[in-house]
Structure 1
């Protein structure tokens, strides 16, 4: 369990009620991972939503099949940002691998329990999807910018 005060510090948890904060705090825990650790593997089951507290992580895409791209860096996550949003969106699989660029400390939230909370409390579900959409849109904008630069 993490403290409600800790969750309050992060923008991702905006728009939640005190009861919603309490419920999420109960299904969250602090994890640490050393530099170079594989936190998530592409195409594996995504069972946790992560909020990066300290350190940096890289999103790495390996592709698949013939002509697969091997370990292409497709993004980075900085403190205060979430990763593992695939754990809340069907088919609940990571679309890239997540490798630590430095030692990290994260809040790890059990996404199965979080999805169950969202089913019980649609307002929580809406707030989560709104915040996830904002995070995904930011990543899309960044990717779009990188693609435009690469094609220039």
Structure 2
């Protein structure tokens, strides 16, 4: 069976050249399922990336000792959409079970190891595929939040201290060293020449304690790296807006990078960021500048997008587990 035309329509591959698609086609095979048949189960080794060719696939959490049912479906995936992206990021295990929910399902199966090896050898294609995959994961993250009844609160952005937020006076001309950039996980394996292209587009901005760096729901325009001090990232509601002691998610210390949602739909900060120490000095990298760097040197782009796939994938799985746990408890309470 020829798979080239199918790959062209798939959400992760539609921007690739015919030459690249022809190579990926050699990694493909086909599987047919009937209604109710399981494609893979949670915890299985993720050895394939899948494209839905026909039908509907339900992604479900299976409860111990119970038969599967549509009630445990977290999302449904239709034609030309991707499932099994866990095959591209460690630890390479499927996080949910997949079942055919239509009369029959046709699945394009792609050998994930061969695909990854090809993407590493061809960083332009790797950058394009992982950028597309980030958009896929971002949209599904957003839909999962909507299905769980969660939306970002509308915050009153006049209350929190924003003394330096967005004000040029807070920005300083400070040389960012290669050595410092190498301390960040995302940049540590880049060459000096590659680090130089990042460094040239960096500026430094200072904040005082409890100054807000950005608000939950703001348009995500920058990636940030902590140069000095400590930053807290927290989910906010109208009631706890700006308060230290609300539902904290994490703290960022020296050389930690954050704000990567500027590359993930809907391109908004999912948490609010505050200076949590007496003062904070942050490196700021504009999303547009970074995109240009990535497209000038696809090796950098692929490296960063691979890092982001792992980071965003972990966050998605954590949230997915929370939703599954909550729904599982609700289901058991009705038994």
TM-score w.r.t. structure 1 length? 0.87
Partner of 1:19: 19
| Residue pair 1:61, 1:69 contacting (<8 A) in 2 also | no
CA-CA distance at 1:45 after TM superposition: 0.4
Query: Where do residues 1-152 of structure 1 align in structure 2 (5 Å cutoff)?
Result: 2-62=2-62, 71=68, 72-102=72-102, 103-148=104-149
CA distance in 1, matches of 2:94, 2:86: 6
CA RMSD of aligned residues (A): 2.2
Shift of 1:70: 7.7
Higher relative CO (Cα under 8 Å, sequence separation at least 6) belongs to: 1
Structure 1 distance, partners of 2:63, 2:89, is 20
Q: 8 Å contact 1:39–1:100 — kept in the other structure?
A: yes
SS of the residue corresponding to residue 49 of structure 1 reads strand
Specify whether residues 14 and 46 from structure 1 end up closer, same or farther in structure 2 by C-alpha distance, changes over 3 A only. same
Greater helix share, structure number: 1
Q: Are residues 116 and 95 of structure 1, via their aligned partners in 2, closer, same or farther at CA, if it must alter by over 3 Å? A: same
By how many angstroms is 1:125 displaced? Answer: 1.5
Give the gaps of 5 or more residues in structure 1: none
- Write the deviation string for residues 76-105 of structure 1: whole angstroms up to 9, x where unpaired: 111121101111111110010001112101
TM-superposed CA distance for 1:15, in Å, is 2.3
Higher gyration radius (CA) = 2
Return the offset for 1:107: 1.1
TM-score (normalizing by structure 2):
0.41
